[in-house]
Amino acid sequence: MPPAVLPLEGVTVVALEHAVAAPFASRQLADLGARVVKIERPGVGDFARGYDKTVHGMSSFFVWANRGKESLSLDLKHPDAADILQQLLDEADVLIQNLAPGAADRLGLGFDALHTRFPKLIVCDISGYGDHGPYRDKKAYDLLIQAAAGLISVTGGEDAPSRAGISIADIAAGMYAYSGILSALLLRARTGVGERVEVTMLEALGEWMSYPLNFAHYGGTPPARHGLAHPSIAPYGHYRTGDGGSVIFGLQNDREWQRFCLNVLDDAALANDPRFTTNLERVNHREALDVEIGKHLNRMTRDELIERLDQGGIANAPLNDMHDVWNHPQLAARQRWRDVATPAGSIQALLPPATLTNAPARMGDVPDLGEHTAAILGKLGYTAAQLEALRQQGAI
């Protein structure tokens, strides 16, 4: 059987990236077979390398978002950097960048300037707020965009809002950049011309906020924060069992309420309690409902409750911590983990969620800072003496 051909083999991406949004986007391209040349500041690199030291002394953020890339250390402000970039872009299909506001234009790397020299080049710009408007020059980090897009206002409990526990604004922007680049590649195959793909973190997360935006704008009030409970369905949320276990379960209709009472709680009387016979009544009497359910759950273990819920056809999930997820039996059964090489040794990483039957993700190595500098510049014709001179000057 011939080796698998990955969808983006032959596509070259130059990445002027740091932190999460752009690296996460370009990593998706690398997993699909693209060659991604990641340009990093000499001696320092992508500052996400220093976010933590939890993965064999490396950053958990960096190893997640940067596998499968080649690292080229290059000071973009050095006089020789422009010529190196010119040669790289001569061979590139995509440039992706999330530099500080205005930095790409100051370096001559804005779309208009590049398009005249590289008409087939796709340029993907990721920023917090975009290249015009009153917030154009405002710095944007994930937590700040969570606040600006209103996510924090609808997340958390009744008494206090909360941030999402992951870099959700970065991830949203990265995924729209990824899909935008794929769309631009498809369009270029028809037109022969490269496009600009612009993604802002505010607009990416704003799209994901459309439900509460519609609810608040047209309904007059924003959806209330309910912590781990569903605002308009009951029971649907977090419940504890007698052994201290935590389970999330929820009902979708009144037929399920009947099954829940009979098959899970073994309480026919509760099924016909007029306070709880319809979802609207259950929501209106949520506090009393939870008290009644709690009486039964106190006599069960977590595993017993999950077994009863499964047998009763009631949707549920244990409230897992990170160790539970790492050892999730479903991920193991579906063989979703792969070994990935890093400068500090092998680690495990999850396969990308979209599985292509005949084109498995490449899952390449995590690069050391500047690991590929000599090889990349050597292919461009730089001699060993020239490389040493550039190192002495701090250019690479």
What residues have CB less than 8 Å from 218, skipping those under 6 apart?
none
pLDDT in the model for residue 263: 95
Residue 195 lies in a domain: yes
**165 and 289 both lie in a single domain:** no
157 and 290 fall within a common domain: no
Output phi, psi for 72, to 5 deg: -115, 115
- Mark whether 344 and 308 lie in a shared domain: no
Which residue, of 292, 319, 346, is where some domain finishes? Answer: 319
Query: Which one of 115, 226, 230, 285 is the catalytic residue?
Result: 230
Of the three residues 289, 319, 349, the one that is the final residue of a domain is 319
Are 155 and 252 in the same domain? no
* Residue 7, in any domain of the structure: no
343 and 247 belong to one structural domain: no
Q: Quote the pLDDT of residue 3.
A: 63
Indicate the pTM of the whole model. 0.93
Local structure of 140: helix, strand or coil: coil
CB 38 within 8 A of CB 367: yes
Residue that is last in its domain, among 319, 349, 366: 319
- Where the chain has pLDDT below 70, the residues are 1-3
Q: Tell me if 239 sits within 8 A of 301, measured CB to CB.
A: no
Residue 56 appears among annotated catalytic residues: no
Instruction: Give the CATH number of the domain where residue 291 resides.
Output: 3.30.1540.10
Q: Which domain holds residue 308?
A: 236-319
Give the 3-state secondary structure of residue 360.
coil
If asked whether residues 153 and 284 sit together in one domain, one would say no
Domain annotation covers residue 182: yes
Question: Measured at the alpha carbon of residue 54, what is the angle toward residues 163 and 65, in degrees to the nearest 5?
Answer: 65
Beta pairing partners, 236: 250
Q: Are residues 135 and 260 in the same domain?
A: no
CA distance 168 to 174: 10
- The strand ranges marked E within 18-67 are 35-40
Q: Which CATH number characterizes residue 40's domain?
A: 3.40.50.10540
299 and 248 co-located in one domain: yes
**Is 116 domain-assigned?**
yes
Q: Please check whether residues 171 and 203 belong to one and the same domain.
A: yes
Q: What is the pLDDT of residue 57?
A: 97
pLDDT score for 232: 86
Say if 218 falls within a structural domain. no
Q: How many domains does the chain have?
A: 2
225 within domain boundaries:
no
Query: What's the pLDDT at 367?
Result: 98
| DSSP-derived secondary structure letter, 58 | B
Q: Which of 330, 329, 350 is nearest to 339 (CA)?
A: 350
At 2 the pLDDT is 53
Same structural domain for residues 315 and 367? no
> What is the pLDDT at residue 231?
84
Mean pLDDT of the chain: 96
106 located within any domain: yes
List the beta strands (DSSP E) in the chain. 12-16, 35-40, 69-73, 94-97, 122-127, 196-200, 236-240, 246-250, 315-318, 337-340, 347-350
Pairing of strands 315-318, 122-127: unpaired
Question: Is 173 exposed, middle or buried, given 0-12, 13-18 or 19+ CB atoms closer than 10 A?
Answer: buried
Whether residue 3 lies inside any domain: the answer is no
Same domain, 196 and 263: no
- In this structure, the answer to whether residues 83 and 156 fall within a common structural domain is yes
Listing DSSP states for 232-282 in one string gives S-SSEEEEE-TTS-EEEEE--SHHHHHHIIIIIS--HHHHT-TTTSSHHHH
3-state secondary structure of 363: coil
